[in-house]
């Protein structure tokens, strides 16, 4: 069978929280050197004297389940391991992908070996990249004093996507998922977790 090729944009789902994608296989060339390719919504048979060439249509339905994790933080550069929490969510599924997103512009998500040496190294690196005691235009304009926190969060990013197989996150042996809070006041961070599952 020829390699699958996506030739259609997402279609409107039949049910809430579902996204339907259409996959089609390209047609083989005919003797006339023309390719019979029609709308993906049709099942096409192109006949020649010797053989028939078929366009196959396959539908993949993807279901999305949404969860939320709440993590209290302090006013320091908190780096908190949330691997166990998301593993508990991942165990409810089989194959798919897990998307994480932290709400807020002064927090971020990343992966790291969660041990004191690596955590201290990450804190030191962030301090070198966006020092807390450096003047920031954001602080001059708003007086928040957390300009450094916005820059640090922007450098790391607010989201992660992790593949999922048989209910297990495909993380490395020494790879943990952490939420980083850089703000200058205590917060309760909300991490939105979505399971993207093929049905």
DSSP 160-186: EEEEEETTEE---TT-EEEEEE--SS-
Q: What is the pLDDT of residues 74-95, one digit of tens each?
A: 988 999 999 999 999 999 888 9
- Quick one: pLDDT at residue 94? 86
Q: Residue 66 pLDDT > 90, yes or no?
A: yes
Residues of the chain with CATH 2.60.120.460: 63-198
pLDDT tens sequence across 98-146: 999 999 999 999 999 999 999 999 999 999 999 999 999 999 999 999 9
Determine whether domain 63-198 maps to CATH 3.30.420.40: no
DSSP 137: H
Residue 186 pLDDT > 80, yes or no?
Answer: yes
> Which tokens is 134 given?
């450096």
Q: Is the pTM of this model over 0.75?
A: no
Candidate from 58-62, 66-70, 109-113 with smallest mean pLDDT: 58-62
Residue 55 pLDDT: 44
| Separation CA 87–CA 65 (nearest Å) | 15
For residue 14, pLDDT over 60 is answered with no
**Which two structure tokens, joined as six digits, stand for 121?**
């190294």
CB of 73 closer than 8 Å to CB of 186: yes
Query: Is 174 in contact with 113 (CB distance < 8 Å)?
Result: yes
């Amino acid at each position: 069978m020829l390699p699958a090729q996506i030739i259609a944009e997402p279609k409107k789902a039949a049910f809430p929280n579902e996204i339907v994608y259409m996959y089609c296989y390209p047609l083989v060339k005919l003797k006339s050197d023309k390719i019979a390719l029609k709308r993906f919504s049709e099942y096409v048979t192109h006949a020649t004297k010797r053989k028939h060439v078929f366009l196959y249509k396959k539908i993949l339905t993807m279901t999305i389940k949404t969860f939320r994790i709440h993590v209290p933080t302090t006013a320091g550069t908190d780096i908190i391991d949330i691997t166990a929490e998301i593993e508990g969510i991942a165990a409810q599924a089989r194959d798919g992908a897990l998307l994480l997103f932290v709400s807020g512009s002064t927090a971020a998500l990343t992966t790291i070996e969660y041990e004191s040496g690596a955590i201290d190294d990450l804190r030191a690196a962030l301090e070198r990249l966006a020092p807390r005691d450096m003047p920031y235009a954001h602080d001059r304009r708003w007086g928040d004093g957390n300009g450094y926190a916005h820059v640090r969060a922007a450098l790391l990013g607010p989201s992660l996507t992790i593949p999922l197989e048989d209910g297990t996150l495909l993380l490395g042996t020494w790879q943990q998922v952490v939420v980083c809070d850089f703000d200058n006041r205590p917060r309760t961070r909300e991490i939105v977790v979505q399971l993207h599952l093929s049905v």
